[in-house]
Amino acid sequence: MSSSLPDGFDVRFAADADAAAVAELARVVEDAVLGAAVITEGDIRDWWRVTEPGQNVWLIHGGERLVGAATLWPHGDAPNVWGDVHPEALGRGLGTALLELAEGRASDLGAAAVRNEVFAQDETAAALLESRGYRAVRRHYGMRIELGDEAPPEPAWPEGLTVAPFRDGDGPAFHAALGESFQDEWGHAPLEYEEWRRARLDADDFDPEVWAVVRDGDEVAAVIRCDVFRYGGGWVGALGVREPWRRRGVGLALLQHTFRVFHARGERSVGLGVDSENPTGATRLYERAGMHVEDETVTFEKSLA
């Protein structure tokens, strides 16, 4: 591992025990940039389920204090990176050092490009990326709904469809339906089933009651994968409707069903992330369901060729 760090700082790979400190650093940065912070240790551990902290997460310390961290997800032709530098340590070259490490790792993995996501308001981070040859290529929204005390409306299901929680044995069909639903999504880099199973079904906080499978007879029409608590509330990690069942109100019904599941469990806030240019019109769907844009991130990309 090599990087151009100023005197007084050192870098190392992360270990599982570092998750709490990384979450605290992320909260400090969130608060500085957004004026609020929601990320938790559980969120960081969720990030690390689909990467390897000992190879793809770098921590920079100044003495005993964690002042910088970056995570790379090594999937697809353009791996994604998220990095944080403590506001009090900006301007010291730490962000540049983290970028060098992530870019080097992505290059070693044979990636054609690397992507880095930052909050839309973070002008300092955007300026650093642009100075290193990155260009903005995509925007994503964080959307949320506050459910209130009354139960959300009953969904109106198209005739012949049924919905049920995820059950033992659903894994392969669920994974296949999700992959098919997202195959045209920008940046989609699917995990092979066994890696997906370990990351999702074997997770300590996996709860099948907040996942759901929609069927038309014996065929899976749509699926939704959720987390009981992520980023400050209930979280929809992925909602996929297979092509033959699109434009029939299935996505809206499944989302409304999920809101009711969370509400019955006592959760009053549900969020999700969405590509602003989603080809299936997901942003409009979520707005029809009563969700609103809460935050925005910008994805920057740099060619490694």
95 plus 158 within the same structural domain: no
217 plus 88 within the same structural domain: no
191 plus 124 within the same structural domain: no
**Mean pLDDT, rounded, for 240-265:** 97
Last residue of some domain: 112, 133, 154? 133
Amino acid of residue 211:
W
Over the chain, what is the mean pLDDT? 96
Question: Predicted confidence band at 1 (pLDDT cuts at 50, 70, 90)?
Answer: low
Q: Residue 301 pairs with which residues in a beta bridge?
A: 115, 135
Confidence (pTM): 0.93
C-beta separation of 30 from 36 below 8 A: yes
% of the chain with per-residue pLDDT over 70: 99
Residue predicted with more confidence, 69 or 278 = 69
Q: Which residues contact 123 (CB under 8 A, 6 or more apart)?
A: none
pLDDT at residue 3, rounded to an integer: 63
d(CA 130, CA 178): 34
174 plus 282 within the same structural domain: yes
d(CA 270, CA 229): 9
133-142: per-residue pLDDT in tens? 999 999 999 9
% of the chain with per-residue pLDDT over 90: 94
151 plus 117 within the same structural domain: no
* Short-list 251, 284, 286, CA closest to 271: 286
Domains identified in the chain, total number: 2
104-146: per-residue pLDDT in tens? 999 999 999 999 999 999 999 999 999 999 999 999 999 999 9
**Mean pLDDT, rounded, for 250-262:** 98
C-beta separation of 68 from 24 below 8 A: no
Give helix then strand counts, H and E, for the chain. 9, 12
Is residue 304 in a domain? no
54, two tokens: 């000992």
C-beta separation of 208 from 171 below 8 A: no
CA distance from start to end of the chain: 21
Question: Is 78 a residue whose pLDDT tops 90?
Answer: yes
Last residue of some domain: 108, 133, 158? 133
158 plus 126 within the same structural domain: no
Question: Predicted confidence band at 6 (pLDDT cuts at 50, 70, 90)?
Answer: confident
Is residue 240 in a domain? yes
d(CA 178, CA 123): 35
| Domain CATH for 196 | 3.40.630.30
Is residue 4 in a domain? no
Is residue 216 in a domain? yes
Domain that holds residue 249: 144-296
79, two tokens: 């791996």
Q: Residue 70 pairs with which residues in a beta bridge?
A: 58, 83
d(CA 293, CA 8): 41
